[in-house]
Amino acid sequence: MSVFDSLRIAVRAIVANRLRSLLTLLGLVIGVSSVIALIAVGQGTQKGVSDQIRGLGTDLIFIEPSAAATTQQGAGALTTTTLTQADALAIAANGNPAIQAVSAHITGETQAIAGANNVGAESVFTSSNYAEVRDLEIALGSFIAPSHDDAGSLVAVLGSRVAETLYPGIDPIGQEIRLSFLAGRVVFAFTVIGVVREVGGAADANDQVFVPITGLANRFRFLYTPTGDLRVTQIDVQTTPGADTEEVKQQVSDLLLFRHNRSDPDFTIESQDDLLDAASEVANTLSILLGVIGGISLLVGGIGVMNIMLVSVTERTREIGIRRAVGATAGDIVNQFVTEALALSVLGGIIGIVIGVVASLLVDGQTVGDQEMTTVIQAWSIAAAFGVSAGVGLISGIYPAWRATVVDPIAALRNE
């Protein structure tokens, strides 16, 4: 019998047992589509995280007080930070050609209020060079100018989402914005001078408000160390493109150790690459985990096919006996059952791919909780899922097919 004959017989048998075939397919469809969709989510998460980190700017090194130095939260943390603006200035003044710009800042959760509108926003107290270091572009007005740094002006630059929420349909430039600190105990009014262009991905910058650190420092004396240095919670160092970031990290670290007069660091220093590595390691683990879950459901689907084929051999003992009596060889029977299992699993694979791809596309860009989902469909995951389902189909067809060949045609044909 030709392959087409076998296929025709298989299709007939599948159609003749619609419900059974459908249930078998379901297992495979769920397996294949979940492998594709879960891997797409895993890969999307990975891409989302790395986009977020890349969105912070380019060629950055981040310096933060080490954990030991910041055991306290909120304003308390500020009083114990070991980093100061003088450190940032010293790094910048070092004359290292590998360093392009240095910016220091303090961040704090605040409530931003304008008229009747208010929104929770992260305030970034920084200086005029922050926009350059973090690659922020201005959509409206201007960013903090050096003159604002010097004067300690009470001006604010808004992230795009903050601007939209507080000033819907109004030009925010020149408007008053009030920022409330320490759970509303302290409120200061600022004048809006600019809005940052929306940053892609899930970047924080859209939800931030940028104000000159000097303006704040004049009002919060505790921001100063006893020696008169301004405390900061983070220093960003932008390296010259092509510079060896590991070397720069070492140099900056040495400088800070010297300035802090310590042998062990009271700060952590990490490059963007370090963050990317750490984040993609986490995302990779997530990807693998999701892939394994998908793989298990595929395996279960495959066992379903085997189960159905075995039941079908028992159920169709008579049919097998008739075929044998008419003159079908053992090979013909094996061929028939393997073809049937393969046809089922290939069909399940194809439907699963369609559903998996469609589901991945639907989930892409949806917000779950406050997390925006990103999915990246991988060609290899489609190929692997399809290959596994076809392979599972083949294997789960062979054993029942072998069982079918040992069916005794006489027993099968015994008159009922």
Partner 1 sequence: MSDAPGEAPPIERTDCVPLLSVRNLERIYRLGEQTIHALRPLNLDIHQGDFIAIAGPSGSGKSTLLQLLGLVDSPTAGEVRVRSRVAQDLGQEQRAALRLRTLGFVFQAFNLLQMLTARQNVEIALALAGFPRRKRRARAEELLSAVGLAERLEHRPLQLSGGERQRVAIARALANEPDVILADEPTGNLDSQTGREIVNLLEDLNRAGQTIVMVTHNLEIARRAGRLFLMRDGRIDEVDPGDPRSLD
- Interface residues with partner 1 (CB under 8 A)? 1, 4-5, 12-13, 16, 318-319, 321-332, 409-410, 413, 415-416
Strands (E), 80-185: 99-114, 117-126, 138-141, 155-158, 176-181
Tell me whether residue 16 or residue 368 sits nearer to partner 1 (CB atom): 16
Could you tell me the smallest distance in angstroms from the CB atom of residue 16 to partner 1? 4
| Torsion sign over Cα 241, 244, 249, 252 | negative
Encoding tokens for residue 251? 């140099």
Tell me whether residue 370 or residue 416 sits nearer to partner 1 (CB atom): 416
Tell me whether residue 288 or residue 410 sits nearer to partner 1 (CB atom): 410
DSSP 2: -
Could you tell me the smallest distance in angstroms from the CB atom of residue 307 to partner 1? 21
Encoding tokens for residue 99? 């360093």
Tell me whether residue 18 or residue 221 sits nearer to partner 1 (CB atom): 18
Strands 99-114 and 155-158: unpaired
- Distance of CA 188 to CAs 57, 122, 127, 253, Å? 29, 15, 18, 36
Tell me whether residue 90 or residue 322 sits nearer to partner 1 (CB atom): 322
Could you tell me the smallest distance in angstroms from the CB atom of residue 346 to partner 1? 21
Other Cβ atoms within 10 Å of 357 Cβ, number: 17
Q: How far apart, in whole angstroms, are the C-alpha atoms of residue 90 and residue 259? A: 9
Q: Comparing C-alpha atoms, which of 137, 142, 159, 145 is closest to residue 210?
A: 159
User: What pairs with residue 224 in β-bridges?
Assistant: 230
Could you tell me the smallest distance in angstroms from the CB atom of residue 321 to partner 1? 8
Tell me whether residue 5 or residue 150 sits nearer to partner 1 (CB atom): 5
Tell me whether residue 159 or residue 321 sits nearer to partner 1 (CB atom): 321
Q: How far apart, in whole angstroms, are the C-alpha atoms of residue 238 and residue 225? A: 26
Could you tell me the smallest distance in angstroms from the CB atom of residue 329 to partner 1? 4
Could you tell me the smallest distance in angstroms from the CB atom of residue 308 to partner 1? 17
Q: Comparing C-alpha atoms, which of 415, 402, 416, 409 is closest to residue 327?
A: 409
Could you tell me the smallest distance in angstroms from the CB atom of residue 390 to partner 1? 25
- Distance of CA 79 to CAs 33, 63, 226, Å? 53, 17, 10
Could you tell me the smallest distance in angstroms from the CB atom of residue 400 to partner 1? 18
Could you tell me the smallest distance in angstroms from the CB atom of residue 46 to partner 1? 49
Q: Are 28 and 388 in contact (CB under 8 A)?
A: no
* Dihedral, 381, 382, 383, 384 alpha carbons, nearest 10: 50
Q: Are 343 and 14 in contact (CB under 8 A)?
A: yes
Tell me whether residue 5 or residue 281 sits nearer to partner 1 (CB atom): 5
Tell me whether residue 1 or residue 89 sits nearer to partner 1 (CB atom): 1
First to last CA, the chain: 30
